[in-house]
Structure 1
Amino acid sequence: MRRRLIQSTLAVVLVVIGVFGVSLVIVETRTISNSAQERVDSEALRLASIVDSRILGDEHINAEILKNQIAEDRYAVIRIPGQAPVELGLQPSGDVIHSTAKGEEGETVTVQEPRSAVTREVGRTLLIIAAVALLAIVAAVLLAVRQANRLASPLTDLAETAERLGSGDPRPRHKRYGVPELDRVADVLDGSAERIARMLTAERRLAADASHQLRTPLTALSMRLEEITLTDDPDNVKEEATIALTQVERLTDVVERLLTNARDPRTGSAVTFDLDEVIKQQLEEWRPAYRSAGRAVVSSGKRHLQAVGTPGAVAQVLAALIENSLMHGGGTVALRTRVTGNQAVVEVTDEGPGVPTDLGARIFERTISGRNSTGIGLAVARDLAEADGGRLEMLQAQPPVFGLFLSRTPLKRPPRVEDDEERTVR
């Protein structure tokens, strides 16, 4: 069956190449010949025009003056009444292409070109057509061999698909063979492969999110423990230990939230919380890292805002934005709080170059990063914000401004004057 399929495919290709190849050769030969004739005609008309202009200007006409007006492989004869013929170039031998043009002053210009030039151009065209035909034959043979193998060994393909599934490669092949029973088996295998792929993707995503989300609190905890080891002051030890315990609690919250999102990413545990406390906690956590980098992180804006959300998730979102500014931004990083409608907004900005134009529309996609980072921080941050009914947006690209929008509740106490004043924490 394989041999018959290859032979039949090759026969069809040869017939098609023969029919279209001969037609193409005829068309190209005529086209090249016509093009050469048009060139000679144009050359004759051009020379006649030049001779006309010189006659009208009462200028002298000879071969020395007109020798640069004709191509090297052409020959021209100019006959002017009352003067000897003027010859340009070498007269070709053998078959030629010629054209005669008459000028307005009675002169006659004849241009000749050897037909051998056309023959050479036709030969080059034939070689190109032959090379393309040879490539088509080779491609047809390879395609026929491949198709024969696919049609002759469907059972082998199905066995290989099952073996790949068992070895941990869940990519569906989407191959069908035209046999209902075999196609049904292929459908089942492809469906199983897609389900396995989804499960593996979910596991890998959980692992990536966990490694990214746990990295920040672990780094902060490590820095606090180093501070404890470097001080002998009991008060400093107590303060740093208290902060470390707070970070351990946050680390526990991160783990619990990751597990919750793994079970159902839409699940949120929104409560009313004090936004100032979350921002203050983030400033304290990131201040050592920024101090080491010779930079500052500050906050300003409206105070005593009550927001609705999960404090741990909001802290993770802010941590992702602050870390992003530390890695990719520059200068001072500012957290500004404001109110718009019934929403509390936390804006995070820095003095760096901003988000490149080609990444602006895709900045929240996974694996999208302007540098050698994981590219999942902002994607995870947006997922966390949306899980509690909020949203995370890029408000401005240069300089970068990211805004976290959270629902807020009315204040339970009369507002004080200082609520609307700017606050700055360094």
Structure 2
Amino acid sequence: MRRRLINSTLAVVLVVIAVFGVSLVIVETRTISSSAQESVDSEAYRLVSIVDSRLIGGDPVNPDILSDESGAKRYAIIRIPGRRPIEIGERPEGGAIRGSAEGDRGETVTVEEPRSVVTAEVGRTLLIIGAVALLAVVAAVLLAVRQANRLASPLTDLAETAERLGSGDPRPRHKRYAVPELDRVADVLDASAERIARMLTAERRLAADASHQLRTPLTALSMRLEEIALTDDLETVKEEATVALTQVERLTDVVERLLTNSRDPRTGSAVPFDLDDVVKQQIEEWRPAYRSAGRAIVRSGKVGMRAVGTPGAVAQVLAALIENSLMHGGGTVALRTRVTGNQAVVEVTDEGPGVPSGLGARIFERAISGRNSTGIGLAVARDLAEADGGRLELLQQQPAVFALFLAREAGAHRDQPEGEEAAPRTVR
């Protein structure tokens, strides 16, 4: 591209120089020739006037006197009737420019100048024009190189940016070139890079969320299938198969929820639901895992509450909190339901060491974990809670107390009076 730009610029300059240079040479040549002719004619008229004045006064006319009075440096021949011709200067050899004049007494003066003088003047003029043309060509080449670099280098950068985007590196460069058209292309590429980066981030986030969120229902489903494989009791098989089907349904709900959140994290489908059913379902689901760990789950608090949210999302939030207590906590895990204002609250706590003091403010950020876990579960849980208009908070660090706040159903009358709570139930 650089070569094409330089060649095109140089071609334009050469055409301009050829057109205007030839015209200038022709004009200058004619001007020099005309000026030389006028000078010769002027000297002839001056000599003839001198001769006239001397003839009228009866003064002698000879070459020395005429040379002194006229200051003539060219060759001149004066012809006076009845006298011999008078010559001044040296007669030029070869071609000459001649100028003539005739006096009142019949005398004639002819002045000649060598054509080589005019040719030399034309040559000097051509030399000056050629030097100027050469300087113009050099300046044009330098300007063409500069412009070619100014245009080619940005295009090379833009090509590298586009190639980098195609290879999977979506970092925008935010580099501009002071050329509006190229800057527009750079803007488009940077915007595309940002969109690709967001898409890749969303895909990675979906993959991480899916692997984390699907792990729990898959583990529960695997345990149910193991129970079926180890028992010969038909009733137990039916019971475990029913629970397994429930796990499959929840697995499907998890997948749909993840896909919905990947498209728009703010999308929710909140409906009134029975909070007790969700809490009970989670306790039943986590019973085998806690039984294997030799730990207990205790449920207490108000019963009969109806909240507004998505049952599947609320179940996933509680599952994340319960799993977090199983992995990082210790002792008894307690689920307590209560009412505060117009909100239903589910608290999850355990008897473990709690959340490290340095992580309290960042515990819901992605990739933040105090014990070599993925750091995804609590971040996803908060997103799910906020999608339905609720919120998930860390109320206490040591021991850890997490609380899920949900809106209560308007006009609900099933709640038991304040202070009337379900008796604590322990599942081992």
State the TM-score bracket (shorter-chain normalisation). 0.5 to 0.7
Per-residue Cα deviation, 1:342-373 (whole angstroms, up to 9, x for no partner): 11110000111111111110111111111221
Report SS of the residue matched to 1:423. Answer: strand
Identity of aligned residues (%): 85
Q: CA offset at residue 418 of structure 1?
A: 9.6
Aligned partner of 1:214 in structure 2 is 214
Aligned partner of 1:226 in structure 2 is 226
What amino acid is the match of 1:318? L
Q: Where does 1:312-327 land on structure 2 (aligned, <5 Å)?
A: 312-327=312-327
> 1:388 and 1:292, CA in 2 relative to 1: closer, same or farther beyond 3 A?
same
Aligned partner of 1:3 in structure 2 is none
Q: CA offset at residue 282 of structure 1?
A: 0.6
Aligned partner of 2:328 in structure 1 is 328
For the 8 Å contact 1:300–1:335, the answer to whether it is kept is yes
Which ranges in structure 2 are unaligned for 5 or more consecutive residues? 1-148
Q: CA offset at residue 339 of structure 1?
A: 0.8
Aligned partner of 1:186 in structure 2 is 186
What amino acid is the match of 1:397? Q
Cα distance in structure 1, aligned partners of 2:195 and 2:248: 36
Aligned partner of 1:239 in structure 2 is 239
Report SS of the residue matched to 1:186. Answer: helix
What amino acid is the match of 2:423? E
Which ranges in structure 1 are unaligned for 5 or more consecutive residues? 1-148
Aligned partner of 1:200 in structure 2 is 200
Aligned partner of 1:66 in structure 2 is none
Aligned partner of 1:420 in structure 2 is 421
For the 8 Å contact 1:304–1:419, the answer to whether it is kept is no
> Does 1:394 find its partner at 2:400?
no
Cα distance in structure 2, aligned partners of 1:163 and 1:287: 54
Q: CA offset at residue 263 of structure 1?
A: 2.5
For the 8 Å contact 1:333–1:351, the answer to whether it is kept is yes
Aligned partner of 1:7 in structure 2 is none
Q: CA offset at residue 191 of structure 1?
A: 1.2
> 1:159 and 1:333, CA in 2 relative to 1: closer, same or farther beyond 3 A?
same
- After TM superposition, the score normalised by the length of structure 2 is 0.61
Cα distance in structure 2, aligned partners of 1:325 and 1:417: 28
Aligned partner of 1:347 in structure 2 is 347
Aligned partner of 1:136 in structure 2 is none
Aligned partner of 1:52 in structure 2 is none
Name which of structure 1's ranges 201-210 and 362-371 shifts more when overlaid on structure 2: 201-210
Q: CA offset at residue 152 of structure 1?
A: 8.9
Q: CA offset at residue 295 of structure 1?
A: 1.4
Q: CA RMSD in A?
A: 2.2
Report SS of the residue matched to 2:277. Answer: helix
Q: CA offset at residue 425 of structure 1?
A: 3.9
Per-residue Cα deviation, 1:6-45 (whole angstroms, up to 9, x for no partner): xxxxxxxxxxxxxxxxxxxxxxxxxxxxxxxxxxxxxxxx
Name the count of aligned residue pairs. Answer: 278
What amino acid is the match of 2:302? K
Report SS of the residue matched to 2:299. Answer: strand
Cα distance in structure 2, aligned partners of 1:267 and 1:184: 35
What amino acid is the match of 1:343? Q
Q: CA offset at residue 334 of structure 1?
A: 0.7
> Does 1:381 find its partner at 2:381?
yes
For the 8 Å contact 1:303–1:423, the answer to whether it is kept is no
Q: Where does 1:271-310 land on structure 2 (aligned, <5 Å)?
A: 271-310=271-310
Q: CA offset at residue 205 of structure 1?
A: 1.5
Report SS of the residue matched to 2:425. Answer: coil
Q: CA offset at residue 309 of structure 1?
A: 0.9
What amino acid is the match of 1:402? F
Q: CA offset at residue 419 of structure 1?
A: 4.6
Cα distance in structure 1, aligned partners of 2:373 and 2:418: 44
Cα distance in structure 2, aligned partners of 1:151 and 1:226: 69
Cα distance in structure 1, aligned partners of 2:418 and 2:260: 41
Cα distance in structure 2, aligned partners of 1:348 and 1:187: 49
Cα distance in structure 1, aligned partners of 2:191 and 2:332: 52
> 1:385 and 1:399, CA in 2 relative to 1: closer, same or farther beyond 3 A?
same
What amino acid is the match of 1:276? D
Q: CA offset at residue 266 of structure 1?
A: 1.6
- After TM superposition, the score normalised by the length of structure 1 is 0.62
For the 8 Å contact 2:302–2:416, the answer to whether it is kept is no
* Higher Rg: 2
Cα distance in structure 1, aligned partners of 2:236 and 2:255: 28
